[in-house]
Structure formats: C-alpha cells, structure tokens
Structure 1
Amino acid sequence: MVTHPGAQRFVPDTRDLDALASAAAGCRGCDLYRDAERTVFGDGGPHARILFVGEQPGNEEDLAGEPFVGPAGHLFDKALDRAGIDRETVYVTNAVKHFRFDRSANGRRRIHRKPTGAQIAACRPWLEAELDAVRPEIVVCLGATAAQSLLGKDFKLTRHRGEVLRLPDELRGSCDPAVVVTVHPSAVLRARSQRDDAFRAFVQDLKRAAAL
C-alpha cells in the first residue's frame, strides 16, 4: 500500500484563508503535485454559512486554479440558483487539492482518475484547516469521495443521502456543523437520459441543506 507523508507539516498555524491558500501552493504531502498544473484551494467568504466539499479539481479547475469552474461547476451554479443559494455567500472546496488524471492514448486529453484513499488522507489537514477557518453551520458533501474524506472510508452515500449527520468527534474543533451528503454535480451530467430527474433531485438536496 502506497503511503504519503501528508500535508500536516505544510499547513501554517493560521486560519487566514489567503495564507492557507498560499501555503497550499507549496504542499508536497502526496505525489499529485508532480503532474498537476497547480494547487486548487477553496474559494469563498471566510464566514460562509454553507461549505461545499467536492472530490478533486478537474481539468478546467487545474488550469484555472479555481474550484468548480468546469462543466460540473456550471451545473453546480445552476443548481445553486434553482435552490435559492447565492454562490457568493458560500465556500466551495475539494477533499483533494490537486488533479489526478491519466493521459489519453494520444496524450492530448487528461482523463479524470479518482484519488486514492491515501491521497485523500494526506490532503485532509487542508480540509480540516478550511473547516476551522470558515466555521460553517452546514457542510454539504458532494459525492462519495467527499463524504468519505470527512465521515470515514466506509461511508455509503446511497444509504445516507439527504440525512442530517454530524462530523466525527475528532473533527469537531471550533465548529460542529450539520452535514448533508448528496451526489457530485458530475454524476448528474453522467445521468444522460435521466439527467432532468437527477438534476431535480440534486436541487432538492441543496434546498434541504439550505433550510437547515
């Protein structure tokens, strides 16, 4: 099993989001920094009431250096609007801050590859620092990887989707937010013939989270 040193020694003793983002740019806690274009840290207000956590940046996010700006990000923005949530008032981030990918046969495309459990664990100190800095009232996990990064590797999204949960004791530092788990926007894009139904269900999950 591959292990990584983890991000702990790269996380500064501050909860200033700008300082954290700057420090994250030099993180070598796992091997993903070697191939990614840049670190993609979270984005949003320091006092956001809702914090959204996705899996990892995609190709567009890696190139732009910003979370949720690709096709899934555009769908996410649309769903937030339908749910009555202003993206300017929330904080969005990912469980893993670098893009993991494989090259296509011709080398022209970078194809998303799910991060390993070791890579997720190595990056978790950044997510913990973001939680501590923002202190949200609600955390929405977008997809199984995001949920497992905070709620444990055995967590099943299909079993607990839409439930109101709590963080494990070791993560309840300066905040104790309600936690809601839903699908990642990319899963809605992949639904194809059932995309409209998947989108409506996703919006309903966001509405329930905001109603908390």
Structure 2
Amino acid sequence: MSAVKSLPRLREEAKSCQRCDLWRTGTQTVFGEGPSRAEILFIGEQPGDVEDIQGRPFVGPAGRLLDQALAEAGIDRRRVYMTNVVKHFKWTPRGKRRLHSKPNQGEITACRFWLDAELAAVKPRIIVCLGATAAQALLGKSFRVTQHRGEPVPSPLAPVVLATVHPSSLLRAPDPETRRTERARFVRDLVAVRRLLEMAA
C-alpha cells in the first residue's frame, strides 16, 4: 500500500466492498470504530447479528461484556480502536434467527486489505487479538491462544501484540461459576494490557 488513507476515507470506501461474497448476505459493511490515533487496537473475528444491523463493531452482547471488562481494567473504550478481521456478518439461518458462521480463509484473506489499511492509519502501540480467528490471522495459523494467552508476541504490526479470548466465549460458558472464573481471567488480561501501555509511556 502506498499512501496511507484516513479512517473516514477508508470507512467510506469499505461501504461498497465486494472483495468476497459476504456482502451479498450481510446488511452492511461493519468498519472499525475509534480514535484515529488510538494507542490500543482490539481485533475480533467478525461482526455479529446486532453489529450487522447497527453497522458498528462490538455493540452486541459480547461487546457489552467487553465494555464492562474494559471499565474494570481501567481502560476507556472511547480511547481504543475496535475492529474485526472480517467486516461482514457471515451467518446461517435457523428459523427466524441468524446464527454466526465462522469465516473461511478466503474471506479472511480478502478482508485483510481493510485491516492492513486500518493498522496503517491508526498505528497503535498495542494490538490485542480477541479469539483464535483474529490471532491466527495476524500471528499465523499455528498460533494457539490457549498456549500463549496474554503473552506479548514479536510482530512488525505494532510494538506490542498479544492475544486473549473473544468475549463471546465467556457468554458460552457452561455454568455460572465457569463464567465468573473466565470473566475474571479476561479482566486480568486487560489489566495487563493497560500496564503494558503505562510501561511504554
């Protein structure tokens, strides 16, 4: 990529994206959101049903949980940039519901254009990959969140790059006790992110 484009321009251009077939079933492109010079950039897998309808990332149930965890960790969401590896909602119908369907490698590769443009525009100091799809898209297919969760990984993308679970995984916890435990662990990961930022200041 030659000249770095501004986020407003990228967002406008992404509205008509047809780089893969997901535009045919998604309501709209769900581009990233946040300050143009955010120090922390969070990357998830793809927008969900609520995000697809509203056109904003992380505004559904998982997004609300992420907001709460960020607040507990002392991170102001208004100062971070939120985006996804894939910008359209991939889903399968089940009755009247639209169920999340994992994007394939071709869709991830096609959408990498927009993610690279966002990273170039924002230039974050810390990148946090939320979940396996985001982590493997940025850090390679062999990367395992379970093995390297919360560990800074060398990457040319930013001074600090690390991965943790996607907040949607907490909503799928099998029982309340597991959910409480995993939520506390997730908050600890975010506290570590805040401390890394403070150390780099």
* Alpha carbons 1:12, 1:20 under 8 Å: kept: no
CA–CA distance in structure 1, aligned partners of residues 98 and 158 of structure 2: 38
1:188 matched to 2:170? The reply is: yes
CA–CA distance in structure 1, aligned partners of residues 70 and 61 of structure 2: 14
1:30 matched to 2:20? The reply is: yes
CA–CA distance in structure 1, aligned partners of residues 2 and 20 of structure 2: 17
In structure 1, runs of 5+ residues without a counterpart are 1-10
113, 119, 127: which one aligns with 2:107: 119
Letter in 1 for 2:114: W
Please give the secondary structure, in 2, of the residue aligned with 1:103.
strand
Q: Once the two structures are aligned, what percentage of the paired residues are identical?
A: 53
Aligned Cα RMSD in Å? Answer: 1.3
1:12: how far off? 9.3
CA–CA distance in structure 2, aligned partners of residues 14 and 135 of structure 1: 11
- What is the TM-score when the length of structure 2 is the normalising length? 0.93
CA–CA distance in structure 2, aligned partners of residues 12 and 60 of structure 1: 34
In structure 2, runs of 5+ residues without a counterpart are 197-201
* Alpha carbons 2:164, 2:189 under 8 Å: kept: yes
1:155: how far off? 1.4
1:112: how far off? 0.3
* Alpha carbons 2:4, 2:120 under 8 Å: kept: no
* Alpha carbons 2:49, 2:98 under 8 Å: kept: yes
- What is the TM-score when the length of structure 1 is the normalising length? 0.88
* Alpha carbons 2:127, 2:158 under 8 Å: kept: no
CA–CA distance in structure 2, aligned partners of residues 12 and 99 of structure 1: 29
Letter in 2 for 1:18: P
Paired residues in the alignment total 194
Once superposed, which parts of structure 1, at least 4 consecutive aligned residues long, lie more than 2 Å away? 11-15
1:157: how far off? 1.0
Q: Which residue of 1 aligns with 2:126?
A: 138
Q: Which residue of 2 aligns with 1:67?
A: 57
